[in-house]
Amino acid sequence: MSYQREFSHRLRAGLVGIGSHAYRNILPVMNFLPVQLVAVCNRSNIELAQLTAAQYGCKSYQKPEEMYEKENLDCVFICVSPEAHPSLVIQALQTGLHVWVEKPAAMNSEQILQMIEARQDQVALVGYKKAFMPAVTKAREVIQSEKYGNLESMLAVYPMKMPQNWTEVIQKGIRTDWLNNGCHSLSVMLSTGGSVQSVVSVQNETGHGANIIKFKNGAIGTFYLASGPQPIEEYHFYSQKWHLHIDDSSKVTLQRGIPFVYERTTSFTAPGDDCGAVVWKVQNCKASLDNQAAFVQGMYQEMMEFCNCILENRKPDIGSLEFALELTKTAEALAVSNGNEIRL
């Protein structure tokens, strides 16, 4: 099936793993990418692969190696459980394919190192969608600008808890919410704050609490593991002259402050347009794509970045295997901190 008539050149793509996430998110996004879906592969259920192939007008396989051998692919999208990521990513890289893989990259940092060793000149990108959200892209634009810049601190709030048995988690390869979803906020923080210097983590008996991240540029980040029902996801970025707030992924408020004298200020609407708040938010227009989850949440942007890196012959920064390695090392250090500072 050929997607997106607006592109003159399309990458020959395969998809490994066609469960509910791939069916509801990955496949629909491909309609907006410069790819031609040549084949799908599902190792556990060939009937599901055949059904999906019939729907999308492509071929079906049960073994990835057979698909790679017969279909002359440029790239592969891998969307399976993280336990299977290392072997499948390494296999595809050794075949010479460019690889996109869903987050988390692997079960531990050692496995990501093995992926890096298997990669040659190919593009390999991990699907940390939150780091690619338009709201976070706007935050990076503000942070990196000459007009604003000078990020000093940040706060991320996400509903989750830290596993209390991390040694057992590592030894037995147990998949946890910290592995699956902790990477969301960590990817936002690392993509805006840069390289990590050290971490400290403090939780209560239920695993909720605060993770403190010190960045090499001097900024401080707090990742608060909130209790309570969803939705609870917020990001705040602070500097001396501004702060920026991301609310529910769909609204960005840049607060630049107003001239203020305690005894005399009578209006919150100071003259001019160089102070006060600037707000960006989803338009909620039915004719637009910016109000759909795949575009608000960064799924489209991360997959398009993967394609663009291949077509433009460049390597990704955010979402690269090196980015995934630092993120995973940060998560591992936080999991064993127990109130002690750990340097990365």
Per-residue pLDDT reduced to its tens digit, 112-136: 999 999 999 999 999 999 999 999 9
How high is the pLDDT of residue 4? 67
254's tokens: 């840049």
The Cα–Cα gap between 67 and 78 comes to 13
The Cα–Cα gap between 344 and 342 comes to 6
41, 111, 120, 51: which is closest to 73 by C-alpha? 41
Identify whether the C-beta of residue 103 lies closer than 8 Å to the C-beta of residue 130: no
pTM across the whole model: 0.94
Q: Is 319 left (phi over 0), alpha (psi -120 to 50) or beta?
A: left
pLDDT tens for residues 179-235? 899 999 999 999 999 999 999 999 998 889 999 999 999 999 999 999 887 778 999
31's tokens: 């309609």
For the chain, list the domains and their CATH numbers: 11-127 (3.40.50.720), 132-296+326-343 (3.30.360.10)
pLDDT tens for residues 11-22? 999 999 999 999
The region of weakest confidence among 94-98, 152-156, 172-176 is 172-176
pLDDT tens for residues 69-99? 999 999 999 999 999 999 999 999 999 999 9
User: What count of other Cβ atoms lies within 10 Å of the Cβ of residue 128?
Assistant: 25
Mean pLDDT of the chain: 93
Q: Which amino acid is at 3?
A: Y
List Cβ neighbours of 111 (8 Å cut-off, separation of 6 or more): 85, 86, 105
- What is the widest separation between alpha-carbon atoms in the chain? 77
194's tokens: 């840069």
279's tokens: 């707000």
| Residue 304, strand partner residues | none
Q: Is 190 helix (H, G, I), strand (E, B) or coil?
A: helix
pLDDT tens for residues 33-60? 999 999 999 999 999 999 999 999 999 9
Q: Is 203 helix (H, G, I), strand (E, B) or coil?
A: strand
Confidence at 6, pLDDT banded by 50, 70, 90: confident
pLDDT tens for residues 258-268? 877 888 888 88
Residue 46 burial class via C-beta count within 10 angstroms: exposed 0-12, middle 13-18, buried 19 and up: middle
How high is the pLDDT of residue 1? 47
How high is the pLDDT of residue 3? 53
Q: Give percent above pLDDT 70 in the chain.
A: 99
286, 40, 329: which is closest to 198 by C-alpha? 329
The region of weakest confidence among 158-167, 179-188, 300-309 is 158-167
